Amino acid sequence: MPEDDQQSSRGAAVPFADLEFYKSLGMKSGLEIHRQLDTERKLFCKCPAVRTYSDHFDAELLRHMRPTLSELGEYDPTALMEFKTKKEIIYRLARDTVCTYEMDDAPPFGLNRDALDRALVLGVMLNLSLVDELHIARKQYLDGSIPTGFQRTTIVGVDGFLMCRGRRIGVRQLGLEEDACREVSDKGHLRTYMTDRLSIPLIEVVTEADMRTPAEVAFVAGVIQRLCHLSGVVRTGLGKVRQDVNVSIAGGSRVEIKGVPRIRQIPALVHWEALRQRALLEVRDLCKARGLDAGAFAEDLDVTEHARRFSHPLFAGISRGGKAHAVVLRNAAGILAYPTGPRRTFGHEVSDRLRVVACVDRMPNLAHSDDPDCFGLSGLFEAVRRQTGATCGDAVVVTAGPGRDMPTAVGEIRLRLCEALSGVPRETRKALPGGATCFERLLPGPDRMYPDTDLPPIVLGQADFERARGRAPGALWDKEAGYAAAGLSVEQTERLMTTDRFRLFDAAAPRVRLRASVLAYLLLDWLTALSRAGIDTRPADADLLARLFGGEDAGTMRQRDAAAALSAALGHVPGWVGKAGGKGQAQGQGQAGTGSGTGAGARVTSGVDPVEVRT
């Protein structure tokens, strides 16, 4: 395992696949994979589902979000948290990609049946029990990512499974929902979105928490990625897929790491989240040992005049009318300095809350007496201790920012310290470089879901299910086993699936005599190299490959010679010279060569050189 695939705990190297170590933590993890479906229209209107995002807009719309009660008269805690931020939401609208439905000024136009049919195909491939009556629900989103304040969603299937390295991984459900807006900026109390991605049909694959190590989480994510590519019903490429990872340990809580952009980031993120939860449980035990309760964090005072005497970035806004407040943490010295992750302490947990909830996002947004980098503020901390009768065993936290945000900021400091008394709060967190995460919002609960009264139930019959089964390809594990039997490496198999080159490979393999590994090299490596050199590789279809490599002599052809022949066929002529029994120079520009016509020593001299690659 590469060095960057290992991290340390208490100074000892812990590979991300060390099952015994993660068992000792009681770690469990699951996935929520979101993929856009490859449809022409959006999910609940007739607007085009754009394939290329743009920053062009024709108008802007301002909105404020407010929470609503659930059917049982409850507020979702995430909605209440978002309401505390007092955000103004700006939507940038392009007339060609948005309509009145998406602004909640018109009812939905009915579910896109093409999107539903595509979702059913994935339901079959995930071995789900498909539902025969779909009910549309509304899911509250008060972060502003959806202008209506809610997302329309439905469940397509439940209780499925995947086979991963001989293990059965449960798939809890497959959802069909509308995508959200693209965030442009989020500064202070103003958040801006582009609406071109809004309402594009999206599937959500939710697994059970069956993964036992961070490496296994990444592997299962890769399996789902390849299965989605195999289905042929999803979009591929940057911005078309998002991965959420759920992590918990024994005694901890479910924490969701939101929007992980790349699968290779998953192991480090899961590893460090498990250790962060262990650290928070240790903080809880430390607080209990000291007898702390909510009353230990009750004292705060305005220290604006004191802060004016100190030259520190935290107080840069005081000269423009800002305020500074201090909170005394009785008998809590050292807790804010407790390490929770790579270059992270418990003080960062508090800082995150101020940034997100109080919108005090000018960094640094707090200073505390446990931080050795704040030694220059020791005079301020001592002044607070004298004024409140605190001792050196008490910690002091100081925050500063706009005056209107200080009550919320002080409240969030107290709230996060009170949560520390219970252990690990249920949160949604955002990935940071290096494997750490930061707070994004509280984890939503069931109170944010309620039935949609604008859309009737959709009844599905056997014809719908049979059509889906007819469109579904064979099992992914059978296909990958076939590639392995043909001589492909695991890496080649995964790359064929994730780059969608497997379709060309499957079409060409029965018609060529090349070894399977050589054909995979041409499609995965050589065509990519030629394309990067500016050569048009679109003519390289199954027919061309059959003409080039359908002869008996192709069975013993080396990668170098096959690459040279393919280059010549694509018109890459300059520098081609036949050697060692070759048949001379390639003919004119764009003229196809043959498998035996380039010679064993043929090479290109214009910056792209065929090489032997061991597989």
Domains of the chain: 3-286 (no CATH), 293-418 (3.30.1360.30), 486-615 (no CATH)
Helix or strand (DSSP H, E) at 151? strand 150-164
What count of other Cβ atoms lies within 10 Å of the Cβ of residue 19?
13
Contact 374, 421 (CB under 8 A): no
Q: pLDDT tier at 493 (50, 70, 90 boundaries)?
A: very high
Let me know if 388 is exposed, middle or buried by CB neighbors in 10 A (0-12, 13-18, 19+).
middle
Tokens 């300095």 correspond to 337
C-alpha count within 13 angstroms, C-beta hemisphere, residue 527: 20
Given this model, what pLDDT does residue 573 score? 59
Tokens 């065509």 correspond to 527
Given this model, what pLDDT does residue 78 score? 81
Q: Comparing C-alpha atoms, which of 178, 177, 180, 185 is closest to residue 89? A: 185
What tens digit of pLDDT does each residue of 145-174 get? 999 989 999 999 999 999 998 899 999 999
608 phi, psi to nearest 5 deg? -125, 115
DSSP β-ladder status, 299-302 and 241-248: unpaired
The answer on pLDDT for 107 being more than 50 is yes
Q: pLDDT tier at 82 (50, 70, 90 boundaries)?
A: confident
User: Rounded CA gap, 230 and 497, in Å?
Assistant: 7
Q: pLDDT tier at 609 (50, 70, 90 boundaries)?
A: low
What tens digit of pLDDT does each residue of 534-586 get? 999 999 999 999 999 999 999 999 999 999 999 999 987 544 433 333 333 33
The DSSP result for 188-231, as a single string, is TTEEEEE-TTTT-EEEEEEE-S-B-SHHHHHHHHHHHHHHHHHH
Q: Comparing C-alpha atoms, which of 201, 53, 184 is closest to residue 117? A: 201
Q: Residue 311: helix, strand or coil by DSSP?
A: coil
- Sign of the CA dihedral 126, 130, 136, 139? negative
Question: Alpha carbon of 573 to those of 118, 304, 593: distances in Å?
Answer: 44, 74, 10
User: Rounded CA gap, 298 and 329, in Å?
Assistant: 8
The answer on pLDDT for 428 being more than 50 is yes
Q: pLDDT tier at 1 (50, 70, 90 boundaries)?
A: very low
User: Rounded CA gap, 28 and 248, in Å?
Assistant: 5
Contact 257, 429 (CB under 8 A): yes
Q: What's the mean pLDDT when you consider all of the chain? A: 89
Average pLDDT over residues 253-259: 95
User: Rounded CA gap, 546 and 73, in Å?
Assistant: 67
Average pLDDT over residues 303-329: 95
User: Rounded CA gap, 395 and 38, in Å?
Assistant: 55
Helices H / strands E in the chain, number of each: 17, 25
Given this model, what pLDDT does residue 10 score? 39
Q: Residue 58: helix, strand or coil by DSSP?
A: coil
What count of other Cβ atoms lies within 10 Å of the Cβ of residue 584?
12
